[in-house]
Amino acid sequence: MIKLLIIILTTVSIFGQNFNVSVYGFSVAKATWNVKNNRVDLQYKTNGLAEIIWPAINIYSTKFDSINYNFLNFTKTIDQRPLKQSISIDMKNDSLVYKKNYRIRSKPTKNLFSLLAMIQKGSTHDLDTKWLRFDHEGVLFDGRFISAGLDTININGENIVCNHYRFDIKKYNEENSLLDETDRLMAYSVKKNTFRQIWVERDGNRRIIKANITANGFPFEIDIQND
């Protein structure tokens, strides 16, 4: 019985989702989001007009503690012309380590990606309005999910009941980033005066069904595509 339970838990905790990213109804990128027990991977590639103006093929990966979602390692490979990056940031004991640079972290922290994995596993009651510290390429932020109730979203004729959240982010201190420059996704996601929303399936695999973010005046809509 225990063995069967482990198999079931493993099965529902490892799955991938495909998304379309659009602005004003025009597709600008395709993305794949994969969540495992202690790791989350995101890949996206621009398409359409964006492929001509802002071409990008980016890969992000975060390893985290499967109990508290504190991040252990973050890597990204960026091909966003003209920017090309390949970085790895580790959390070792009480230090954030990038190449020969160190930042003291007296308390374990999450990162943006482990937070999003966390919201797929945690309950609304446990997460609602609680500020959570996270690291973003060497800069500390606080983030919180605020419940906006239940919404029903229709995907290919199927009505999916979702927990709807607003995602607030504020800078914790004035540390500078470990990186001299970063890609658009990492820059836009924590930018001040940015409005973020996310819809997570209430039952089943608790997939992210939809998200949107208004950054630099552009409304980005992210919609699940693999149903």
pLDDT at 4 (0 to 100): 31
Domain presence at residue 80: yes
> What CA–CA distances, in Å, run from 224 to 45, 67, 158?
15, 27, 13
Domain presence at residue 1: no
Domain presence at residue 163: yes
Contact assessment for residue 102 and residue 140, using Cβ atoms and an 8 Å cutoff:
no
Please count the residues of the chain. Answer: 227
pLDDT at 107 (0 to 100): 84
Give tens-digit pLDDT for 96-108.
999 999 999 988 8
**Percentage of the chain modeled with pLDDT above 90:** 76
Number of domains in the chain: 1
Domain presence at residue 144: yes
Taking residues 55-64, report their average pLDDT.
97
Range of the structural domain that residue 90 is part of: 15-224
Domain presence at residue 122: yes
Domain presence at residue 5: no
pLDDT at 205 (0 to 100): 86
CATH number of the domain that 149 lies in?
2.50.20
Torsions phi, psi of 71, nearest 5?
A: -80, 145
Domain presence at residue 9: no
Which phi-psi region, left, alpha or beta, contains residue 161 (left: φ > 0; alpha: ψ -120 to 50)?
beta
Taking residues 13-22, report their average pLDDT.
78
Cα angle 208-210-216, degrees, rounded to a multiple of 5: 120
Contact assessment for residue 122 and residue 130, using Cβ atoms and an 8 Å cutoff:
no
> How far apart, in whole angstroms, are the C-alpha atoms of residue 70 and residue 91?
9
Domain presence at residue 142: yes
Taking residues 64-87, report their average pLDDT.
96
pTM assigned to the model = 0.89
Contact assessment for residue 183 and residue 173, using Cβ atoms and an 8 Å cutoff:
no
